[in-house]
Amino acid sequence: MNRAAPSLPAQATQVGLAVDVAAFAMHGGELQVLLVERGELPHARDWALPGGFVQPGEELHEAALRELRTETSVDLEPRHLEQFYTFGALGRDPRGRVVSVAHLAVLPHGTVRVTAGGHTVGAAWQRAHHPPRLAFDHQAILDRALGRLQLRLEYANLALEFLPDTFTLPELQTVHEAILNRKLDKRNFRKRLLAQGNLVPSGERRSGVGRPAQLYRRAKNVRSAAL
């Protein structure tokens, strides 16, 4: 280790460092993404992913959580957050050079209420596969986030994060279908998920319109989706 701690050399470009968060949840059988309505220029009144500038002395993931908290009132644990790509193209922000480290977040079930704060005038869930027009290059960020989310579905049992403690298999299947944006075969889906051994029947059943469905919960030893 060197004792000397010289400061940044002159040729080091100084840029604005930002984070953006693509936060997903399931509502009404559809995959939703959390968006905010900007209150300031540029792109005032446009929808955007929650995000903003990193503060001095703040880690990237801390900044992402803070922005999410202040702009949408959603308080998240670090383990539900994953950095997935950095957007730094020239001209992506009209104010100057801003590099944004984009994060993927999976919101635990029940995170429904969102309220605008900070510099935003609105915060709302929107259909992830059919969002409104987005500010900056946020559509590109969202596209890449969706791709990453689908990749994660294979490994981690990510879908469980979107559901309450107990849930039915048809509900779980709906989550998978919403993320993958396509229909799955019921029998094959159940076979695969149950064979995995991560689900245990709770004994209870849930009545609805048709035949009541068996309720399941995640097995004890299953680690919650490592993002």
Partner DNA sequence: ACAAAAGTGTTGGAAGTACACCCATGA
Partner DNA sequence: TCATGGGTGTACTTCCAACACTTTTGT
Binding site for its own copies (CB under 8 A): 2, 4-9, 11-18, 41-44, 53-60, 83, 85-86, 88-90, 94-99, 101
Residue with Cβ nearer DNA (10 or 209): 209
Residue 98: CB minimum distance to its own copies, A: 7
Q: Which does 221 bind (CB under 5 to 8 A by kind): its own copies, DNA, none?
A: none
Q: Which of 78, 147, 197, 212 binds DNA (CB under 7 A)?
A: 212
Residue 101 binding DNA, by CB under 7 A = no
Q: Show the CA angle centred on residue 117, arms to residues 114 and 121, nearest 5°.
A: 90
Residue 188 contact partner, candidates its own copies, DNA, none, CB within 5 to 8 A by sort of partner = DNA
Contacting range for DNA; rule: CB under 7 A; set: 8-16, 17-25, 110-118, 162-170: 162-170
Question: Do the beta carbons of residue 208 and residue 160 sit within 8 Å?
Answer: no
One of 188, 203, 220, 221 touching DNA (CB under 7 A): 188
- Tell me which stretch binds DNA (CB under 7 A): 55-63, 75-83, 108-116, 209-217: 209-217
What gap in Å lies between CA 140 and CA 137, rounded to an integer? Answer: 6
When binding is defined by CB under 7 A, the residue of 186, 200, 223, 226 that contacts DNA is: 186
Residue 163 DSSP code: S
Question: Are 53 and 99 contacting, i.e. CB atoms less than 8 angstroms apart?
Answer: no
Q: And the tokens for 206?
A: 């849930």
User: To 5 degrees, how large is the angle CA 193–CA 199–CA 202?
Assistant: 135
Q: How far is the CB of 219 from DNA (least distance, A)?
A: 17
Residues in the chain, overall count = 227
How far is CA 165 from each of CA 64, 103, 158, 184, 185, rounded to the nearest angstrom?
26, 25, 14, 23, 24
Q: In whole angstroms, how close is the CB of 173 to DNA at the nearest point?
A: 8
Distance CA 81, CA 70 (A): 16
Tokens of 82: 């994953």
Residue (63 or 160) nearer to its own copies, CB: 63
Residues found near DNA in the complex (CB under 7 A) = 168-170, 185-188, 190-192, 195, 205, 207-214
